[in-house]
Amino acid sequence: MTHSPIITAISVNHNTSAYMELMLRSFDAMHPESPISTWILYDNQSTDDIQQLHDYATHRGTPLTQSGYSLTTAYNSHGLLLQRGALAHPTSDFYLLLDADVVFTQPNTIQRMYAELTNHPQAWAIGVMPSWDGIAPIPTEVRQQNPDICDARLHPCCALIRNTPVVQCAIALVGFNTVDYHWPDRAEYLDTAKLLTRVLSTHGLYHHVSNDIMVKHFFCTSYEWDDPETKAHKQTDRDRRLAILRHA
């Protein structure tokens, strides 16, 4: 970066403690000079083994903050917490949204995102190229089948957002929340940040998806959606990567 913009990073732990520890450790390994000014790490009263995440987060000077929500909160609190973190730092130049279950696999990812975003003046944000392994992109046909991965909305797994007056207003009034949109004959589910993406498009603003900046994203680890084999595979990969970083 040619100068030092103020970047606030926001992430939420929802019984994903080992994944968040891996996210933080991989971030530190890939960013020798961190571009982040402030870290906001929320925890939703996680009941998994949180001690090593707690210790590492405290060691790096970014302790966890209890969000006030729990694992049994009736609806999804993720979007509200992203909104809360952003509005608490209105003078930040950028907000960095991070899912707990991403792994940084490329050096200086955030600096590269910032540089690429500057080439798109009408973009209100940049998201990474979606990837299951952090090496190759998710196939185009998969993105076409599910535009919510990154095309129909800004995916918050690893997204850098410009904090402009329009964006700040939209975050305050619309937020990043999920929405059930009721049509006369059907209901449409708008996933995290999809309504915000639509609102900002009315101002001629779009979210840019990088063509080559990637992170590994485990996807959906805070939900009980995976079959036992997939869940075990993700945990084995997570633990292998985490062991390497813990002993680096």
Each residue of 48-102: pLDDT tens digit? 999 999 999 999 999 999 999 999 998 889 999 999 999 999 999 999 999 999 9
| CA-wise closest residue to 3 among 26, 37, 29 | 37
State the amino acid at position 45 in one-letter form: Q
Predicted confidence band at 45 (pLDDT cuts at 50, 70, 90)?
Answer: very high
State the amino acid at position 184 in one-letter form: P
> Would you give the DSSP letter of residue 118?
T
Domain range list for the chain: 7-246
Say whether 11 sits in a helix, a strand or coil: strand
Residue bearing tokens 């996933």: 191
Specify whether the CB–CB gap between 126 and 172 falls below 8 A.
Answer: no
C-alpha–C-alpha distance, residues 16 and 28, integer Å:
18
What is 7-246's CATH number?
3.90.550.10
Per the prediction, the chain carries an average pLDDT of 96
